[in-house]
Amino acid sequence: MSLPQPVRGTHDLLPEDYRRHAYVRDTARDIAARFGYSEMATPIFEFTEVFARTMGETSDVVSKEMYSFESRSGESMTLRPEYTAGICRSFISNGLMQNVPFKVFANGPMFRYERPQKGRQRQFHQIDMECIGSLEAKADVEVIAAASAILKTLGVLDDCTLQINTLGDVESRQAYRAALVEYFSAHKEKLSKDSVARLDKNPLRILDSKDKGDQVLVEDAPVFTDYLNSFSTEFFAEVLAGLDQLGIPYELNRRLVRGLDYYTHTAFEFVTTALGAQGAVIAGGRYDGLIEALGGKPTPGIGWAGGIERLALLTGEIPDAERPIAIIPVGEDAEGVAAKLANQLRLDGVSIEMAFKGNVGKRMKRANKLHSRAAIIIGEDEIAKDTCIVKDLDQGSQEEISRSDLAAALAALK
């Protein structure tokens, strides 16, 4: 009988892996709070239409990658492939129009059926920031600045490049869309099957194609900047000026697109080559038409998502975990006293490790294996005198102290 294995595209976060994962998450959470973003969460699954209506039937995510299932009541449900649509659905469902700008941070698992690779799994985890209800270019600058601050705090910003582009307003987009349809229609016989399907419904998605034949055609395709109206040009200039003011470097990438109709104006990615082939670690953009696409009132928004697995792979040394204090009872009578002391110290905020069995030698070996900072030893003599022996496991020294002075002694060891 073969041993049980995790499902392909999933992985176990063992304690050391989880600590690195949590460091990325907690760093992002702290930075988001400094920017005024409150944390929230949405359900792991939604009605399928939440994603189908917002991401588009022709997108790879909807057509190939979503984990969808039918509920017992016959309704189509989908495990969330991304956070933005669910947060926007929540904004509508909970009547939060009076709370704009609605600035939130979220994190959690996502699900996409795709080929597993380094830093990308079928169950993966994301950090996410959304600013809903602000039309100002300053909101775009703020969310990009927050992403930059997170990468800087993680120590990976120097390995990343911010690429940015504008997708213009609806008017500019429609003009560009018409130009793309005309261009690609003239080369329709050379397009991949997927791109032919996108030609009428979503031609901007062709610019994202991974097909090598499509990429050759994309090289000579019309460029969005030639179709921007004055408002779109001025809005993008204001975003870039804001980044310049904050000293955040960027590269213009005129081929960077978001292929869905609700995306407008700013699109950006922090990309890296430190994980092999170039890939995005944080990506986002402005989605002024998304909430309307979900049935809500027209409401602007901008946000981004970042892959925790990829960021964890990029992040170098992380702070050491808090080192525990070991409690070692000597003799049967000391077991109960030691257990009571351990419980009290844990309630007081001290990390305590206490083995369930074994002689003093075995328990001391376990304390060293766990990299304990100190050991508290309690035997019959210490019980009688209401004291304990505190052994500094780094220095090798020890002293007998009153149990009433124990908290101060442990604080000094930190």
Domain end, chosen from 268, 283, 314, is at: 314
Q: What is the CATH number of the domain that holds 367?
A: 3.40.50.800
Lookup: tokens for 388: 């304990």
Q: Residue 65: count other Cβ atoms within 10 Å of its Cβ.
A: 15
Domain end, chosen from 314, 349, 371, is at: 314
Is pLDDT of 152 > 70? yes
Give me the mean pLDDT over the 209-227 stretch: 88
Q: Residue 225: count other Cβ atoms within 10 Å of its Cβ.
A: 16
Is pLDDT of 36 > 90? yes
Strands 160-166 and 251-252: parallel
145 shares a domain with 82: yes
- Residues 73-112: tens digit of each pLDDT: 999 999 999 999 999 999 999 999 999 999 999 999 999 9
Give me the mean pLDDT over the 157-162 stretch: 96
Q: Residue 227: count other Cβ atoms within 10 Å of its Cβ.
A: 19
368 shares a domain with 281: no
Q: Residue 308: count other Cβ atoms within 10 Å of its Cβ.
A: 25
Q: What is the pTM of this model?
A: 0.88
145 shares a domain with 274: yes
Q: What is the CATH number of the domain that holds 155?
A: 3.30.930.10
Give me the mean pLDDT over the 38-62 stretch: 82
Give me the mean pLDDT over the 299-314 stretch: 95
3-state secondary structure of 102: strand
* Distance separating alpha carbons of residues 309 and 17, to the nearest angstrom: 10
Residue 132 burial (C-beta neighbours within 10 Å; 0-12, 13-18, 19+): buried
243 shares a domain with 116: yes
* Residue 178 belongs to some domain of the structure: no
330 shares a domain with 399: yes
* Residue 182 belongs to some domain of the structure: no
* Residue 63 belongs to some domain of the structure: yes
Strands (E), 15-138: 38-39, 45-47, 68-70, 76-79, 102-111, 123-132
Is pLDDT of 294 > 80? yes
Find out whether the peptide bond into 300 is cis, omega within 30 degrees of 0. Answer: no
349 shares a domain with 277: no
Give me the mean pLDDT over the 387-405 stretch: 92
* Residue 210 belongs to some domain of the structure: no
Is pLDDT of 357 > 90? no
Lookup: tokens for 30: 């702290």
269 shares a domain with 133: yes
* Residue 54 belongs to some domain of the structure: yes
370 shares a domain with 291: no
**Cα dihedral value 215, 218, 219, 224, nearest 10:** -140
* Residue 183 belongs to some domain of the structure: no
* Residue 218 belongs to some domain of the structure: no
Mean pLDDT, all residues of the chain: 91
What's the DSSP call for residue 389?
E
Strands (E), 256-359: 264-272, 279-286, 301-307, 325-329, 352-353
Confidence (pLDDT) at 60: 58
133 shares a domain with 237: yes
124 shares a domain with 73: yes
* Residue 52 belongs to some domain of the structure: yes
164 shares a domain with 70: yes
Is pLDDT of 208 > 90? no
Domain end, chosen from 314, 345, 365, is at: 314
In degrees and rounded to multiples of 5, residue 228 shows phi and psi of: -80, 135
Confidence of residue 1 (pLDDT cuts 50, 70, 90): low
Domain containing 37 equals 15-169+229-314
Domain count for the chain, please give it.
2
Strand order in the sheet with 76-79: 45-47, 76-79, 68-70
332 shares a domain with 291: no
